[in-house]
Amino acid sequence: MKRDAEAPPESDRFADFPHPRETHALLGHDGAESELLDAFRRGKLPQAILIGGPEGIGKATLAWRLARFLLAHPDAAAPEAASARSLFVAEESVVSRRIAALALPDLFLLRREWNEKTKKHFTEIRIEDVRRLIHLFHQSSGEGGWRVAIVDSVDDLNRSSANALLKLIEEPPARSLFLLVAHQPGRVLPTIRSRCRKLNLAPLAEPNVIAAIRALGAPFGDAPQETLAGAAAGAEGSVREALRLLDGDGVAFDTSLRAMFARLPQVDWLAVHSLADRLAGRDNEQAYETFMSGLYRFLDSTVRTKAHEGASATSLAPYARAWERIGEAARETEVFNFDKRGLILQVFADLEEAARR
């Protein structure tokens, strides 16, 4: 679906690629899809599902796929639902077209909204956004079937908006479903987690990453197989990351970042200052996003690896503190438009301290 040139950018859309609601193919998550379809047929769908996993692996695509199926086939006993082998609904169907246009009254989307004053997205999902969802959700069902709310992502909720959403999840109208997309499910408010069915998706296999990019067509989908394979190998199961790496010198840049992280606790401060200068400019947003994404992947991988090796909670605590400090500094940098140089220097100072401890 072509975007309206007058419409503001969508915070849950990556660059100019198809939005998850416009994506009808789901790769690598057959087991999760079958589990959801079976729960629906047995009348066992929970009122809220927390779909967790790294960015770019298909969490939102699965959420929209389930929503599309429920709104197209609200009755589990109907022949179309009973005979379905997957949650697939044809792109040409009326429901698919209305969802693509966000024109279904029983489907609600909660995400970071566009700030007309700053011409940027808000850094959080605000409490007023949740209150608007609550008001709409308690209106009479427009189609008489399911009401589905997709939150993309729950990581963007602040404490006030998270608590407001919690109240709605605790006392939802009949035949309601909340699909919460979470990039870091372990950091979601515990009271929300406790009221959700947890569905964690694994990173995609490299062939699935390549297949997803091929399906997008030009320009990235037409890249040589060797180039795609290199991007898929560095993306750690994320289509979004692979696309970042394919843009410009993304693969080379990612390789240099991995080398800097791998040397920790040793830090080449000359290289860090050079990196900070590179990422500080307004024209280098893509490189900055690649850096931040690579940073969080490094932290996640490091903690997971150490935990798998039997590291104690005490030895992992420095990385948790570094993660918290970096995340807060990154949010402040974006909100107050601080110079990114200071953030990059702080990142490596925090990582050096965590690695030494």
DSSP alpha helix (H) spans, the chain: 30-41, 59-72, 79-83, 94-100, 127-137, 159-170, 190-193, 206-216, 225-235, 239-246, 250-262, 269-280, 285-308, 313-335, 340-356
In this prediction, residue 26 carries a pLDDT of: 95
Q: Are 294 and 258 in contact (CB under 8 A)?
A: yes
* 75 and 129 belong to one structural domain: yes
Judged by average pLDDT, the poorest of 100-109, 196-205, 268-277, 332-341 is 332-341
Cβ count within 10 A of residue 31: 10
* Inside any domain, residue 7: no
Q: Are 60 and 29 in contact (CB under 8 A)?
A: no
Which residue, of 200, 230, 260, is where some domain finishes? 200
Which residue, of 183, 200, 217, is where some domain finishes? 200
* Rounded Cα–Cα distance for residues 13 and 19 (Å): 5
* 36 and 169 belong to one structural domain: yes
* Inside any domain, residue 12: no
* 161 and 213 belong to one structural domain: no
* 50 and 107 belong to one structural domain: yes
* 62 and 92 belong to one structural domain: yes
Q: Is the pTM of this model over 0.75?
A: yes
* Rounded Cα–Cα distance for residues 49 and 180 (Å): 6
pLDDT over 60 (residue 5): no
Q: How many domains in the chain? A: 3
* 217 and 189 belong to one structural domain: no
| Structural domain harbouring 125 | 20-200
Structure confidence by residue, pLDDT tens digits, 91-106: 999 999 999 999 998 9
Distances (CA, A) of 348 to 280, 322, 340, 341: 15, 10, 13, 11
* Inside any domain, residue 25: yes
* 189 and 219 belong to one structural domain: no
Q: Is 144 strand, coil or helix?
A: coil
Which residue, 256, 274, 346, 354, is CA-closest to 311?
A: 354
Judged by average pLDDT, the poorest of 87-91, 252-256, 261-265, 281-285 is 281-285
Which residue, 95, 84, 77, 94, is CA-closest to 33?
A: 84
* Inside any domain, residue 97: yes
CATH of the domain at 171: 3.40.50.300
pLDDT over 90 (residue 1): no
Percent of the chain at pLDDT exceeding 70 = 97
Mean pLDDT throughout 229-234? 89
